Amino acid sequence: MSQPCPDLISFLESPASHPDRWVLMNVHTRQCLGVGPEVMTVLADPDNATAQTYRVWKIWRFSHIDGLLADPSRYKRDAATWGEPEIVDHPALLKLLKDQCLVIDDLDAYRARFDFKKSLLDRQRFGTYHQQLGQQLIAFERRDPAAWWLQQKFTPDLSAIRKDNLYGAVQDRFLDEWLPRRMKPGMRVLDLGCGAGTIAQKMARLGASVLGVDPNEEYIRLATERAEGDATFQVLDLNTPGALDALPAASFDCIYMSDALLFYFVPYEPGKPLDLDGFIADVKRLLKPGGTFLSLEPHPVFYVQPWLGDPARPFTVMTEYLHTHWRINPPLSVLARPFLESGFVITGVEEPASSREDPHVPQRDAAFASEFPVWLLLELKLAEAAA
């Protein structure tokens, strides 16, 4: 027997201009359908066949394909862009509602679909966020994921952080304001996963003596070519056991890492965990007494949550936190615990936000990120040094 999915919400996307266009959204799977209000009676009793016709708009789209930091809400925003509706009969409507998991046949069978995808073509299992993204990029869009990922954060020449998305509006803005308060002339800094050296260069320009390491030879070549001040770069793959052994103990005042620590908690490939204990031991060994580990990671609460509501007053719907199906990043306690148990204390927490009126990004992006921080920075020191 068909039933409305318990994970269904409905709302008006553009109530002022289109009060008859509703969004039906499965908040867990992020599937959507635009419908006329006449569809609401079908949701109450889906199998009650009628001779009526219904208006639907196929508004679902994999919006992350526009960019990692693009609107994660996965439907065509603004009802004015939906175009003409399809007019469908009851059986066709029911099929569309079931395809989008807005109406289901069997709750247990539906719940069982929240599992890792088994292959690139697996539609049955919803999979993790990264599996969904990989499936979309590789199988459906036929794009090179490595090239796509690189385009998200940096300008095409890899010389700067992009200004036209939240990397620029939040992360870059925050670092430009915050790093000058932390970097001191002569301070020795290790940038783990430095890419083409953009952030390492920011720190070197503030007088720090920076070593940037990254597994990608091309990035290191570019970083070395552009090095200003006291910045050096070295090819080094953190996933190779003993990779950091060649660096002398107690040699850095600060170790910086951004957008990479999450993969120690939520492996990129399911079932292939990275060595977090070994990583923490390396950080402890390499820090000077009193040194700081700086970790800037996607915020465990707000990263890629749907951006709902009017940009003037955005809201989101939280669907999971401690036990996540999307598996992007760990909850705060899980992120902090292994460091705290290894003798670190948290000496600083920052939740970078955008300006509400950032001229470089769309109004909705700036509005959401000015209220809900999409990154979290932790400053950690060894306990005896902190005391």
Partner 1 sequence: MNVTQTVLEFFDSRGGLPGSTEQEKLACAYLDAKVIDSMGIIDMISHFEDSFGIRFEADDMQSEQFQTVGGLVQVIEKLRAAA
**Chain residues that interact with partner 1, rule: CB under 8 A:** 118-123, 138-140
Q: On the CB side of 75, how many CA atoms lie within 13 Å of its CA?
A: 29
Which CB sits closer to partner 1, 107 or 121? 121
The DSSP letter of residue 375 is E
Residue 319, SS3? coil
| Residue 61 to residue 75: CA distance in whole angstroms | 5
Distances (CA, A) of 31 to 49, 175, 249: 24, 35, 50
Which CB sits closer to partner 1, 122 or 164? 122
Distance of closest approach, residue 36 Cβ to partner 1, in angstroms: 24
Find the length of the chain.
387
Which CB sits closer to partner 1, 134 or 311? 134
Q: Of 152, 198, 167, nearest to 352 (Cα)?
A: 167
Q: Are 241 and 279 in contact (CB under 8 A)?
A: no
Burial class (CB in 10 A: 0-12, 13-18, 19+), 269: exposed
Which CB sits closer to partner 1, 136 or 342? 136
Q: Are 377 and 348 in contact (CB under 8 A)?
A: yes
Distance of closest approach, residue 272 Cβ to partner 1, in angstroms: 13
Distance of closest approach, residue 140 Cβ to partner 1, in angstroms: 4
| Residue 212 to residue 223: CA distance in whole angstroms | 9
Which CB sits closer to partner 1, 75 or 368? 75
Angle, CA of 44, 50 and 53, to the nearest 5°: 95
Region for residue 74 given its phi and psi (left: phi exceeds 0; alpha: psi -120 to 50; beta: otherwise): left
Q: Are 168 and 361 in contact (CB under 8 A)?
A: yes
| Residue 283 to residue 288: CA distance in whole angstroms | 10
Q: Are 376 and 349 in contact (CB under 8 A)?
A: yes
Distance of closest approach, residue 259 Cβ to partner 1, in angstroms: 24
Which CB sits closer to partner 1, 12 or 138? 138
Distance of closest approach, residue 94 Cβ to partner 1, in angstroms: 18
- Contacts of residue 100, defined as CB under 8 A and 6 or more positions apart, other chains included, come to 24, 26, 29, 31, 32, 33, 60
Distance of closest approach, residue 47 Cβ to partner 1, in angstroms: 23
Which CB sits closer to partner 1, 142 or 181? 142
Distance of closest approach, residue 121 Cβ to partner 1, in angstroms: 5
Which CB sits closer to partner 1, 50 or 119? 119
Distance of closest approach, residue 274 Cβ to partner 1, in angstroms: 20
